[in-house]
């Protein structure tokens, strides 16, 4: 299972390119290089610290434990435990 965080988008925005800032993450960018989404490809291998580090690099607000709880719950809670 993977998770996806959608960032602010403009009408017609689509993923024009991607990058992999760290293992377990794929960032989607619009055609004018704005980040429009973050895919968490390996939720069981990432921590809240890693998610927020990538979000900071993308100039996005940090995620909260509550926002990520469903994603981590589907992975047996391993990332939640690592973040606490």
Whole-prediction pTM value?
0.81
Which burial class, exposed, middle or buried, applies to 79 when counting CB atoms under 10 A from its CB (0-12, 13-18, 19+)? buried
| Residue 71: per-residue pLDDT | 77
pLDDT of amino acid 81: 32
48-57 helix and 65-73 helix, angle to the nearest 10 degrees? 120
80 against 74, higher pLDDT: 74
**Mean pLDDT of all residues in 36-62:** 94
Q: Which of 83, 7, 9 is nearest to 51 (CA)?
A: 83
Better pLDDT: 13 or 79: 13
Residue 61 has pLDDT above 50, yes or no: yes
């Amino acid at each position: 299972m993977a998770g996806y965080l959608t960032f602010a988008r403009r009408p017609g925005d689509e993923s024009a390119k991607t990058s992999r800032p760290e293992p377990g993450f794929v960032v989607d960018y619009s055609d004018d290089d704005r980040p429009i989404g973050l895919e968490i490809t390996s939720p069981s291998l990432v921590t809240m610290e890693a998610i927020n580090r990538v979000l900071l690099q993308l100039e996005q607000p940090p995620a909260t434990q509550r926002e990520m709880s469903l994603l981590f719950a589907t992975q047996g809670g391993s990332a939640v435990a690592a973040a606490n």
